[in-house]
Amino acid sequence: MVRNLANYFLTRRWYVRSKSLKGYSPVLATFIQVSDILLLVFINLLTWRIYKRIDPDWTPTLTFPLVLFCIVQFVIWFSLLQVANLPKIPRTTRTLVLVFNVLRISFIGLIILFIFKYLFGVWQVTPALIFLFSALAGITYSVAHIVSVRLFKIYRSKGYDIHKVLVFADTYSEDFIRKILEQKEWGFEIVAIISDSRIIRSKFEHIVPVYSSQKDPVEVIKKHVVDEVIYSRYRFNEEEFRKVILYCFKTGIIFRMQSELSPVDDIKIRLEQLHKMPDLVFLNLPGDNISLMFKSFIDHAVSLALVLISLPVFAVIAIAIKLDSPGPVFFLQKRVGLRGREFNLIKFRTMVKNAEELKKLLEKQNEMDGPVFKVRNDPRVTRVGKFLRETGLDELPQLFNVIKGEMSLVGPRPPLPSEVKQYPDQFLRRLSVKPGITCTWQVVPNRNSVRFERWMQLDMEYIDKWSLKLDLLIFLKTFRTVFLRTGA
């Protein structure tokens, strides 16, 4: 199956490559999408203003067909931008290719708008107006993308928007590795190389750790924060190849290879291009790119709004915590986020000041199986802390983690580093998406009675079945948990 798909994709270069902004920080992804929307509005207003100067007698009246035409015009162009992969600022694609893509969707948009005009008889929209809009849109987006590419090259060369990659290499890969190391503006950072080539070792081991192919490749991947694995070998070991790609599939790491062969079935495949070479990308993640873009936008917009609305609640809780027990208002704890990135989780303090020291005395009372520690009537929890836990209000400060791009509103809960070390490989896939403030487990009544393996299965089901509708349902159920106080 995969071999047939590979041949199909590789023989059709018109195939649209990845449209996902997942490789970006959420702030950048949101900024790019909002910029595209505002640019469309600006172009439309500019078109009307210029056309009014060309034809002073043109006086459009606000009719239903005209309003519908404007809505369709916006939807068509926004959709074409997504299909043509233009919201994503490419790492290696040439500027001329970008301009060609913009001009191509300008022409397609022109044809669709003409068809719509004549089908629905929108007489106020003249052919000249459609031509003017398409021309302005093509020019504006071409300029915008040229500028964006230049800015992002500078941005990535400064060490931002970095994709951490592990490369399987042989002598054949020397030029490829050198390109990645030299082209800082691509935003790739090689964290390790697995190769037995003397040339590769002699030329790169002083820059990047080079491991022998005799080492277990899975253990090498586990040692590093890895966003992508690039298999760049002229000849490959089938056993090694299968082991690595299956591990990437289980844990949600993106897998690239510079070959048309693959022994793996039933995973998502897409064709991308890295330095003019076609790569088949294997991943096991949500793939509805437009929905993912809206999720990122909603995360930041809703979190910012909730923070502003909840400021009085923050103040009341802070005062209550201070009056109830000595110690800080907030509790910072190291957690593991997207693909092993560690960050400081922010919560309202719900325990006594020396809670971590007392934990060792309570380990025998742990009511959870697996690596998770939970005690139902934990004596370390303060009176105010008990209320905050039951209502879920202790999680409120994590809105700042969402705004910082470390978390999402909905997603698997971020685990402790000590817990991740005890995970079986198949549970590491829950780290392949951004952790959330709330999740399926969080809204289950008496969640502390849920066994660890079932908790992990709920997270896997969330990743496999993800949609904006599912996020909305979980978000609404979270409010039910807050009001019914079933979160303890």
Structure tokens at 286: 């949500």
In this predicted structure, the answer to whether residue 330 has a pLDDT above a threshold of 50 is: yes
Q: What residue has token string 């199956």?
A: 1
- Per-residue pLDDT band for 18 (boundaries 50, 70, 90) equals very low
pLDDT of residue 414: 93
pLDDT of residue 16: 33
Residue 479 or 396, more confident: 396
**pTM for this model (two decimals):** 0.57
pLDDT tens digits, residue range 222-261? 999 999 999 888 777 788 888 998 999 888 898 888 754 4
Q: Mean pLDDT of all residues in the chain?
A: 79
CB 48, CB 315: distance < 8 Å: no
In 3-state terms the chain splits into helix, strand, coil percentages (rounded to 5) of 55, 10, 30
In one-letter notation, the amino acid at residue 458 is L
- Which residues contact residue 207 at a Cβ distance below 8 angstroms, ignoring those fewer than 6 apart? 181
Distances (CA, A) of 18 to 136, 282, 299, 320: 26, 11, 22, 49
Partners of 165 in the β-ladder:
190, 228
pLDDT of residue 403: 92
What is the distance between the alpha carbons of residues 138 and 105, in angstroms, rounded to a whole number?
8
Partners of 231 in the β-ladder:
168, 257
Q: Is 333 helix (H, G, I), strand (E, B) or coil?
A: strand
- Per-residue pLDDT band for 272 (boundaries 50, 70, 90) equals low
For range 314-326, the mean pLDDT = 92
Alpha-carbon torsion, ordered 39, 40, 45, 46, to 10 deg = 60
Burial class (CB in 10 A: 0-12, 13-18, 19+), 233: buried
Q: What residue has token string 């930041």?
A: 300
Structure tokens at 486: 């079933």
The top-level CATH class assigned to 2-17+161-283 is alpha beta
Q: Is the dihedral of CA 138, 143, 146, 152 positive or negative?
A: negative
CB atoms within 10 A of CB 276: 8
In one-letter notation, the amino acid at residue 272 is E
Domain with CATH 3.40.50.1980 in the chain: 2-17+161-283
For range 17-24, the mean pLDDT = 45
pLDDT tens digits, residue range 372-397? 666 667 778 889 988 888 888 899 99
- Per-residue pLDDT band for 5 (boundaries 50, 70, 90) equals very low
pLDDT of residue 188: 86
pLDDT tens digits, residue range 446-471? 666 778 888 888 898 898 888 888 88
For range 324-345, the mean pLDDT = 92
